Every structure is written in C-alpha cells, then in structure tokens.
A and B are shown apart, each in its own frame.
Chain A
C-alpha cells in the first residue's frame, strides 16, 4: 500500500507540474480579473486590461478593458454628448461581455451601425440580478440617458438581494490561498474548466438545494419593488426561452423587446454566453427600437 500511495503521489505531482507548464506555455488559463470596492460596490478594478480566456483549449480568448467606473468597456462613462442619443444597457455577464473582444461589444456595434449617432454605455456585471440592475439605474443612469435597456431573464427577477451592488465589503482579501490560486495557472485552469470550486461547494454545503436551484428556470416570484424603480425611459429586452410570457403579461409594465435571432448565435458546449452573432442580434433589436421611436 505504501508503494502504491507513493506511486499515486508521484504521478499526481508530475501531472500538476505538466499541467502548470502546459497551461503557462500555451496560455490556457484565465488571469483573474481583479475586483474592486468602488463606492461600496463590488465592481471590477478600474483601468485593468488583458485577455480573458475560457475553454479547455483556449476556445475563447477575448480582449477586455475595465473603465474608470469598474465596467468592461472601452469608454469611461463621465461625459455625455448632448448631440447624440445617449443610451445605457444594463445586464449581467451577457452585457459585461467577456466572451468577445471589448471592441465588439453591443454598444460598439450599435455605434458603428449608426455612425456614432448613438452613444452607448454598458453597465454589465456577471451574476447581476434585478436588485443590482435597479441600484445601477438609481446610481448612474436615472435622468441622464435618453433610453435605458435592461436585459432580464426569469432568474434575475426573483432576487431580493443584490449580488454585487453595495457589496464592496465582500471582496475577498488577498489571503495566502488566494495568492496561491492567482499564481498557479494549473489550479485556475481546473477551477474554470471543470468547475472545481462550484462542485466542492455543492458537495460539501447543500448539494440537493443547489441542484434544485439550478433546475429552477421559471420562477413564480417577481421582485416587483425592484421593477418599480425603473422609469419610462426604460425598456426590457429578453430572449424568448428565458423569460416567461406570464411574467411579461402580469408583472412588467414597461415595454419588452424580444431578441430575435437573425444571426445564429453559436454558443459553446462549455459556455452558453453569446458570441458575436448573439451580440449583433441584441444590437439590432435596440437600434431598431430607437429608430422606430424617432420616426414616431
């Protein structure tokens, strides 16, 4: 038995070394995008830039740039041009947009299509829910933009607690474990591509609860208080299968636009976020709505 355990330890150590070397040489591991406490909000560290990597074989490698406000965008959201139509887009990871180059974000696509007649600011943060969106709206958007588009799904609407807004104090301190994690490309690779952290959490905390939660796509509860925070400048956008028609009919009083898949959004098996085609679809819906509104 002793020999076998030594064999396993040696094989496993060699495996970790090989994994570390390979992931570094081929740049397969995501560099963690650092978070920052900005006015007590848990956002991304301003003025950081890099390549965001996902996929076992670097299938996604996209350029990101964090602006002064802590969002992934080429622009800082300080000055608005009164000669342009100013719009804001709020949402979760789909709007945050790490899955394509920041140069191809929904905002940049709209601006390019309209020859800069429209100025777009994107307020996206992964994990965000309706409470976060309402707080973003109150803090940065209300009465500043001509239009605000909010990407929602069933799962965003049943939250009663913000995920990242007003949670700046929750940013993990640079503990030894975290430093090791940040420095070990192999561990980051396993964590991102095999969901090690999520799996361990599931198994050792509340496996059944989390499993049930994952399976719940259609919610029966809607946080109507958060929904009431949005004013008439706001428009909700959604994907057909991700927002129930009942909720649209009964709970949402503002306009709702369905994102029509004009371009086939190819998603990866390991990542269901939009690629460029998905973003084009979203941009087209927003542009079309604005043009239609101006004409009328």
Chain B
C-alpha cells in the first residue's frame, strides 16, 4: 500500500480510530492491532512475503532470548552469527542471488570456462533491506549487552513490522523504538497535529516535486543519446531533486504517521543539499542507514581510531557496502565508490578545519560567498554521483557522462513527455520548494505552526496543492521501495 494512494487515505483514518477508540485501554491489544494492521499493510502488496517477515521476527526474537541466558562467549558468538547469516542469507538470496550468479559466469568466462546455469525468477520482497537491518541491529545490541531482549513476542513483532517504516525506513534502532511499544501511549494533540503537517509536507515532496520530475528524468535517462549536454545536465539535477523528495518525502510521511499513533521515529534527512562538504552531506542524508553502517560496520572494523590509510580503507569498505545495499548492480557499487573517493579529503583534514553543521547567515539571511560556493560544489558532486545511481549500467552511466562532456549546449525546446508541454510548472514547483527548504534549513521558518488558526489554513492549502498535483494513474511508487 502506497502512502500516496487513496487506499492508504482510507486505511489510515480507520486504523487510527480503532487504535485510539477501540483498543486504547489495553497496551497489549494496541500492540496486537499494530502487528495485525502492519501485516495487512504489507500483505496489500504481496501476502506471500509476510512469511519472510514472520520468519525473521521469530529467528531474532528467539536468538535475543537465548543470548540473554547464554553465559559462554563462544556460544553467544555462534548465536550472533546464526542471526547474521539467516538475515543476510535471506537478503542475499532474494536480492543478490542472480547478481552473483551472473558475475560468476562472467568471471569464469574470462578463463574460457563457460558455465550454463539458469537464473531464478526471484521477486525482491519489498522493504527486505530495511527490516533485515532493523532486526540485525537488535541482535547485535543484545549481543553487546547494550539492550535487554524483550520477552514479549508481540512487542518484538510490532517493532519489526511497524507499518509506517516497514518498507522504506527509517531503519530504527531497537533501543529507540522497542521501549516505545512497552510504554502506555497517551494521545498528544500537539504531536498529532505535527504528524499531520509532516504527512502533508512529505506528500508535497513526493507528489508535487518528485512525481512531477519523474517523467522528464525517465525520458532523459532513457533517450539520453538524442539530447544535448544541457538537457542531460537538466535530467541529472532533476534526478537529484526527484530522489531526495521521493525518499525524504517517504521518511517524513512515516514519521508523521508514527506520531499519529504516539511514536517517535528518527529524522532521516536534514536538508542535505545545503551541505558544504561530502562529509556534511552524509551526516544529513539517509541518517538512519549512515549511522547504522557507522555503528555496526565502520566502528567494528576500526573506524577512524587507526592509521589514516586504514581509516581510508574502512571508509571505502563502508561506502562500497552501502552502495551494494542499495541494489544488486555494479552501478550502485560505483556510486558508493565515488562517494568514498569524495569523502577521503574529509579524513585527511584535521578536526579543527572541519565545518560546523549550521550555516551562519548574514543580515540578508544569506550564507557567505564561500559557503554558497561550497554548497553549490557539493550539490554538483553529489548530482554527478547520482548519474551512476540512476543509470541502468556502468556503460550507460559512462556514455551519459561522455555526452555531457561534449558541452553541447544547443538550445532545444524540451517537451515534458507527461503532457507534451514545455517545462514550466516543474521549474516553478522546484524553485518554490528550494526556497522553502532553504528557509527551513536555516531555521528562518518552522515546519510547525504555533498559531492554531494559521496551522489549519496551512494544512488546508498544502492538501489543496497535493490534490491539484496528484493525478489518477500517476501515483508512482517510491524509488526506495526497490531497495
């Protein structure tokens, strides 16, 4: 079920009313309801893969309990590895089986060995990368005794399958989300109103910005050989905004929906396109995944408390794995690798030279010239990397870049394939969006309204804009669902 569908618009109020009016007296019943509606939410897409979530839940629940009772370090380690292997095994089979098979065949063919195998027709279960990492973090935290395992299977099932963040995150830590299921939830009016605003702003990002850019991006990346460099650059920048609005929009809706049910999820994006360096960008982009890799991969392999060379290697490992996490294609690995290369200068600079996360503004509420240049450069570098992320193959990405480097800035009247009209409304939407994001990033305005009347008006207007922008048949899926 998509957040931007009428199905969800009907589903949400029904479950909200059931949750607060029918099941509100009993915490256990509320948790059971969450599990049931989360499974229903997931089954709406494909009920068969529910078994995978249930399996993953049971494995990590059991291992969590066993880890608590087990005193011998060796056995504890075995239990941890069982969890890691089962979870990554499922992920590996569904997501990477065909990729590895194809690459093995290609590798052997270089040595003149031609292996005949059949690719399996495997459907990638939606959200598998997200909930696998979430359950893994639980087991690892229990193993390191940072977290006490829960004995309540319903609570644990709710933690794994909590529907707002089940299919595309944020990847929550057990230490943050699990205790929220064990405390009685009291309806908070302010939080619920904030939740509504988050949902609406998330939908604006998804429906108004990402979806309106999607046809142009798809067309330019598909037919790039027909277009001059100027159009390819346009497609690249449009994709940067499309993917940001698509994913951060989803995360905002997830947070908003969670707030309606009395939960707090972590902030996944902090205006990353106003970053002045790649390091800052990664502190603001997909924060839940970045911190996951930091805590469960980067630090265990040594982090930055080793030599500079080892740190660089560690960073490269993390970025390559992060790229691979996104999908079974060399393009994602190349994307990760490029970010690793761009990240290296941040390792080499001393802590003193590192820039702060807050942009200082002058009297006109504008950043300094040097900050502006840095923001622009970082955005261009990130956008360049997105070419690999968006392209179907490495070859396509290279050809796309080669075409850009021809510097053919021929003026052509590009028509949006969606309505066969010149781009106009898209520029308008994007300009207004960038301005609002800037004002939000610099804290000149706030996403939430203190004045209730003003809040009602803003929410109504946001909903109106969504209604005018969304179209039947164009409620596109979120890009990150495929990961």
Chain A residues, Cβ within 8 Å of B425? 57
B464 within 8 A of partner (CB):
yes
Given contacts A3-B189, A4-B192, A203-B10, contact A56 B469 (CB under 8 A): yes
Closest to B475 in A: A194
CA–CA, A14 and B420, complex, Å: 34
Given contacts A196-B6, A268-B418, contact A56 B460 (CB under 8 A): no
CA–CA, A97 and B226, complex, Å: 33
30 A-B pairs whose Cβ atoms sit less than 8 Å apart in the complex? A1-B20, A1-B187, A4-B193, A11-B196, A11-B455, A12-B460, A12-B463, A14-B456, A15-B459, A15-B460, A15-B467, A18-B464, A22-B464, A22-B468, A28-B468, A56-B471, A57-B468, A193-B467, A193-B472, A194-B471, A195-B6, A200-B6, A200-B10, A203-B10, A268-B418, A269-B215, A269-B473, A269-B474, A270-B473, A270-B474
- Asked whether B456 lies within 8 Å of A10 as measured between CB atoms, the reply is yes
- Asked whether A266 lies within 8 Å of B420 as measured between CB atoms, the reply is yes
CA–CA, A19 and B461, complex, Å: 9
* Chain A 176-215 near chain B by CB (<8 Å), digits 1 or 0: 0000000000000110111110011001000000000000
Closest to B215 in A: A269
CA–CA, A1 and B469, complex, Å: 31
Given contacts A59-B419, A203-B10, contact A270 B460 (CB under 8 A): no
Closest to B5 in A: A199
Query: Which are the 5 A-B pairs with shortest beta-carbon distances?
Result: A14-B460, A266-B420, A270-B471, A15-B460, A199-B6
Chain B residues, Cβ within 8 Å of A14? 456-457, 460
A7 within 8 A of partner (CB):
yes
Give the distance to chain A from B252, nearest Cβ to Cβ, in Å: 18
Closest to B420 in A: A266
- Asked whether A203 lies within 8 Å of B7 as measured between CB atoms, the reply is yes
* Chain B 38-63 near chain A by CB (<8 Å), digits 1 or 0: 00000000000000000000000000
Interface residues of A (CB under 8 A from B): 1, 3-4, 7-8, 10-12, 14-15, 18-19, 22, 28, 55-57, 59, 189-190, 192-196, 199-200, 203, 266, 268-270, 275
- Asked whether A8 lies within 8 Å of B196 as measured between CB atoms, the reply is yes
Chain A residues, Cβ within 8 Å of B473? 195, 269-270
B450 within 8 A of partner (CB):
no
Closest to B472 in A: A195
Give the distance to chain B from A100, nearest Cβ to Cβ, in Å: 13
17 A-B pairs besides A3-B189, A200-B10, A269-B419 with CB distance below 8 A are A1-B20, A4-B192, A8-B196, A11-B196, A15-B463, A15-B464, A19-B464, A192-B472, A194-B471, A194-B472, A195-B473, A268-B419, A268-B420, A269-B471, A269-B474, A270-B471, A270-B474
CA–CA, A12 and B468, complex, Å: 15
CA–CA, A143 and B189, complex, Å: 73
B452 within 8 A of partner (CB):
yes
Give the distance to chain A from B198, nearest Cβ to Cβ, in Å: 14
Closest to A10 in B: B456
Give the distance to chain B from A268, nearest Cβ to Cβ, in Å: 6
Give the distance to chain B from A80, nearest Cβ to Cβ, in Å: 37
Chain A residues, Cβ within 8 Å of B193? 4, 7
Say whether chain B's binding surface is mostly helix, strand, loop, or mixed: helix
CA–CA, A200 and B11, complex, Å: 12
Interface size on B, residues (CB 8 A): 32
Chain A residues, Cβ within 8 Å of B418? 268-269
Give the distance to chain A from B185, nearest Cβ to Cβ, in Å: 12
Say whether chain A's binding surface is mostly helix, strand, loop, or mixed: helix
Q: Which of B420, B460, B474 counts the most A-chain CB atoms under 10 A from its CB?
A: B460
B333 within 8 A of partner (CB):
no
B67 within 8 A of partner (CB):
no
Chain A residues, Cβ within 8 Å of B472? 192-195, 270
Chain A residues, Cβ within 8 Å of B467? 15, 19, 56, 189-190, 193-194
- Asked whether A194 lies within 8 Å of B6 as measured between CB atoms, the reply is yes
CA–CA, A194 and B470, complex, Å: 8
Closest to B24 in A: A1
CA–CA, A35 and B7, complex, Å: 30
- Asked whether A56 lies within 8 Å of B470 as measured between CB atoms, the reply is yes
Closest to B476 in A: A269
- Asked whether A7 lies within 8 Å of B420 as measured between CB atoms, the reply is no
Chain A residues, Cβ within 8 Å of B452? 7
Closest to A277 in B: B420
Q: Which of B215, B464, B470 counts the most A-chain CB atoms under 10 A from its CB?
A: B464
Given contacts A194-B6, A196-B6, A269-B473, contact A56 B456 (CB under 8 A): no
Give the distance to chain A from B427, nearest Cβ to Cβ, in Å: 15
CA–CA, A136 and B173, complex, Å: 65
Chain B residues, Cβ within 8 Å of A11? 196, 455-456, 459-460, 463
Chain B residues, Cβ within 8 Å of A19? 464, 467
Give the distance to chain A from B44, nearest Cβ to Cβ, in Å: 9
Chain A residues, Cβ within 8 Å of B459? 11, 15
Within 427-460 of B, Cβ neighbours of A (below 8 Å) are at 452, 455-457, 459-460
Give the distance to chain A from B192, nearest Cβ to Cβ, in Å: 5
CA–CA, A22 and B467, complex, Å: 11
CA–CA, A22 and B468, complex, Å: 10
Q: Which of B192, B419, B455, B470 counts the most A-chain CB atoms under 10 A from its CB?
A: B419
Of B7, B463, B468, which contacts A56 at CB under 8 A?
A: B468
Chain A residues, Cβ within 8 Å of B460? 11-12, 14-15, 18
Chain B residues, Cβ within 8 Å of A55? 419, 471
CA–CA, A15 and B420, complex, Å: 30
CA–CA, A193 and B6, complex, Å: 12
Given contacts A10-B456, A266-B420, contact A4 B469 (CB under 8 A): no
Chain A residues, Cβ within 8 Å of B196? 7-8, 11
CA–CA, A127 and B473, complex, Å: 18
Give the distance to chain B from A269, nearest Cβ to Cβ, in Å: 5
Closest to B469 in A: A56
CA–CA, A28 and B420, complex, Å: 19
Chain A residues, Cβ within 8 Å of B461? 18
Chain B residues, Cβ within 8 Å of A190? 467
- Asked whether B456 lies within 8 Å of A193 as measured between CB atoms, the reply is no
Given contacts A1-B187, A18-B464, contact A7 B456 (CB under 8 A): yes
